[in-house]
Structure 1
Amino acid sequence: MSLLPAASSKKVIVIGELNVDLIFADSSIKPEPNREKLVRDFRLALGSSSAIAAAGLAGLGLEVSFVSIVGDDEFGRFCCGELKRLGVDVTHVVVDLRARTGVTLSLTDGSDRSLLTYMGSIGSVSPEIFPLELLNDASHLHFGSYYLQEQMQPHWLELFKLAKAHGLTTSFDAGWDPAEAWDRERLTSLLAYTDWFIPSEEEALRIFEAGSLEELPGRLPADRGTVIVKCGAAGSVGLFEGGWVEFADPFVVDPVDTTGAGDSFNAGFIAAKLRGLTDVDALEYANACGALSTLAIGGAGGVTLEGLARFWPEGRRLA
């Protein structure tokens, strides 16, 4: 018996940014001026919220097609190679000869991380590279890093309307806004065509101008789908239509690297819902995927059906 029912024949489309992560890990990771410090570990890894979610969805047995853009350089080739190795279709990843692939430097102490990002091609994803025929045989559309995908921000609403007209479910993860402007008007319009909006707790509180999770339900727009809030070590909260609120307890782990944990959570929740699990079971399943991803350095590739079965044998009851 598997952790989830058999996969749908229709695929998931993920459109989004694509970059590498340079991950430095140690318990005392903070740089100090005019000092050289040694760290216990380093990885060059596949990065970006969208790509890590795509890899997680593929690891959970779904067919995934990724739409993105990279530069004609070693980092771009590395990203595409890693996605292919992890089972993601990269037919629709465009190579821009004029661009440089984006890079994120991640400094992680296991429980949290600090990020420095060189945008490069990250903000270059545009409607022109999205083949609309992909919508014809897909079941779901997802993207991450709303605030980093600068060229797509005016176009997500139109794309989600098209996806809904084709019968797809939709989801996205906003990520952190480096400008801290939060683009609330556009996001509010987009939520009317979004089945599952999956921000972190701090992102949700900033976007909806709420002082606490308890205050958040009253700050959400009336015309929306489900809002799933990731609360890190505190678990997750589902804010459903009609005012229903559901909490899911966390999985207690000793994390090695939290890079990509939220994106792995996204993959777990989407996979669970596409396979027909209840909202409550999907929250628990997503928590398990997020926790599992923290047990190795790097965000992508850590979540698979086999790995999840070893990490959480009790999850088999969800099948």
Structure 2
Amino acid sequence: MEDLGAQEQAVLDLITANPFAGQQDIATALGLARSTVAAHVVQLVNKGYILGRGYVLPAKQRMICIGGAVLDRKYHAKKELIFETSNPVNGHRSFGGVARNVAENLVRLGVDVSFVSIVGDDEVGRSLTRHLRDLGADVSQVITTTERPTAEYAAILGPQNDLVLGIADMEIFDLFQPSYLDRFWPHLASATWVFCDCNMPAAVIDALISRKAGARYKLAIDTVSSPKAMRLPKDLSGVDLLFTNHDEANAMLGIIIAEKRLRPKEAAEELRARGAAEVVVTMGSSGYAVANDKGVATMRSVPAHPVDITGAGDAMIAGTMYRVLEGADTVQATQTGALLATLTTESDASVHPDLSPRFLSAGMVRIPA
């Protein structure tokens, strides 16, 4: 705990040993003034080592996911699509959103997860929140608004399960303000990792980056799409792990001419040069690249028999973070992420309904040697 002074550490040790200790008891035990102990307690709250009144201590490994919460509508074409006329499809509705999908994957894997987003004061928003809560996620920090309905995304998939058209109503996320972070700051500051997707406004992302210096958490970010990737600052210092795909990476680097596009390995190196500690650049079934201070590794995807590719990228993130929380290095962790992405494509759901630690473990034999 390098960010704690000697007295702060001593106060925290006493609180850990006895969470019901009063400030005067701590002051007497340490030979300090009570006002000094009170000031240290405030700093321990701000740094995320205790969660406010009652000296509630945070879980040792806890993940917070901040970002999109969406009603997904998927339409699978029964035959080749013909534009400007009606086409027969099979329709399916489910809950989605990058951060929401990551949160559901993680909670199904047994991770202590909190989900933070903004939903409409409508049945979709209530159902979405209730679904995650029933799975075991903490949804106490989800904001409800009457100004906009819960976000929706519609995907039209061709007969080969490829995405033909996606449309989205995401304006509700523009209502999420950096000031909302103050409402649950001790809860946020105490997390092991915070994951945020770029559905959040640029000001919120900037606040998470700038405020992490005084907190415990490491920060992972997903760019979501090429336009939303531009919400990230050019200086990526403070981003511990960046997830992006090939198109989004080149967009962030200002490369729009196809012939000049960087390969995943090169793009990952360039994004690291902008300050991100580690970068994962994906190319779907063609594999991905991982860049960190040890160099760049080019990795293969796990062969799949896809049914629906929706949610694969979110599963990649969740599988990676699951292993990172267990202590694996990022290159190793992304192999689990790639496996979970493949398993997700082999289901018609955005999050595999059978997902569990045992289910994931059983699939490990599929990871390329």
Deviation, structure 1 residue 248:
1.8
Q: How far apart, CA to CA, are the structure 2 residues paired with 1:164 and 1:54?
A: 24
1:290 to 341, 351, 359: 341
- Matched with 2:315 is 264
Q: For the structure 1 residues 311 and 217, does the alpha-carbon distance in structure 2 shift closer, same or farther, using more than 3 Å as the test?
A: closer
- 1:5 aligned residue: none
1:171 and 1:57 map into 2 onto residues whose CA distance is: 14
Instruction: Tell me the alpha carbon deviations over residues 14-46 of structure 1, each in whole angstroms, 9 at most, x when there is no partner.
Output: 111211100112464635213x3222x322111
In the alignment, is residue 235 of structure 1 matched against residue 280 of structure 2?
no
| Higher helix residue share | 2
1:253 partner amino acid: A
* d(CA) in 1 for partners of 2:78, 2:203: 41
Name whichever of 122-131 and 92-101 sits farther off.
Answer: 122-131
Q: Does 1:183 align with 2:230?
A: yes
Q: Which has the higher contact order (CA 8 A, sep 6+)?
A: 1
Q: How far off its partner does 1:120 sit? A: 4.2
> Contact conserved, 2:73 with 2:94, CA < 8 A, in 1?
yes
Aligned partner of residue 89 in structure 1, secondary structure: coil
Cα separation, partners in 2 of 1:137 and 1:112, compared to 1, 3 Å: same
Stretches of structure 1 lacking an aligned partner (at least 5 in a row): 1-7
Query: For each residue in 1:87-117, what CA deviation from the matched residue of structure 2 results, as whole angstroms up to 9, or x when unmatched?
Result: 3211111111232111100122455323100
Distance in 2 between the 1:128 and 1:223 partners? 26
Amino acid at match of 1:226: E
Given candidates 283, 286, 297, the residue that maps to 1:246 is 297
C-alpha displacement at 1:285, in angstroms?
Answer: 0.8
CA 1:91/1:118 → structure 2, altered by over 3 Å: closer, same or farther?
same
In terms of mean alpha carbon deviation, does 116-125 or 300-309 score higher?
300-309
1:304–1:202 distance in 2 versus 1, CA, 3 Å = farther
CA deviation profile, 1:174-203 (whole Å, cap 9, x unmatched): 11144x8x537x4222x2101100001111
Once the two structures are superposed, what CA deviation does each residue of 1:209-230 show, in whole Å capped at 9, x if it has no partner?
3512154255333432111011
Mapped to 1, the partners of 2:73 and 2:267 lie a distance apart of 35
User: Aligned partners of 2:358, 2:156: CA distance in 1, in Å?
Assistant: 29
Where in structure 2 are the equivalents of 1:34-53 lying within 5 Å? Answer: 34=85, 36-39=86-89, 41-53=90-102
Normalising by structure 1, we get a TM-score of 0.85
Q: Which runs of 5+ in 2 are unaligned?
A: 1-58, 256-260
Query: Does residue 14 of structure 1 match 2:65?
Result: yes
Secondary structure at the aligned position of 2:336 is classed as helix
1:92 aligns to 2:141 (yes or no): yes
Query: Could you tell which deviates more after superposition, 191-200 or 233-242?
Result: 233-242
Secondary structure, counterpart of 1:162 in structure 2: helix
Rg comparison, structure with higher value = 2
Residue deviations 1:25-74 (CA, integer Å, cap 9, x gap): 2464635213x3222x3221111111111111212221111111111112
Picking from 125, 131, 141, the partner of 2:176 is 125
One-letter amino acid of the counterpart of residue 193, structure 1: G
- TM-score w.r.t. length of structure 2: 0.74
- Alpha-carbon distance, 1:281 to partner: 1.4
Residue equivalent to 2:26: none
Partner AA of 1:174 in structure 2:
T
My pick for the range that moved more, 297-306 or 193-202, is: 297-306
CA distance in 1, matches of 2:262, 2:92: 36
**Pair 1:212 & 2:212 matched:** no
Aligned-partner residue type, residue 212 of structure 1:
L
RMSD, matched Cα: 2.3
Contact 1:224-1:241 at 8 Å conserved across structures: no
How far the C-alpha of 1:314 sits from its partner, in A, is: 6.4
Partner of 2:124: 75
Q: Name the stretch that deviates more: 60-69 or 127-136.
A: 127-136
Between the aligned residues of both structures, percent identity stands at 23
Cα distance change, pair 111–241 in 1 and its aligned pair in 2 (3 A): farther
Name the amino acid aligned to 2:343. Answer: L
Q: Is the 8 A contact 1:55 1:83 kept in 2?
A: yes
SS of 2:248's equivalent in the other structure is helix
1:226 matched to which residue of 2? 278
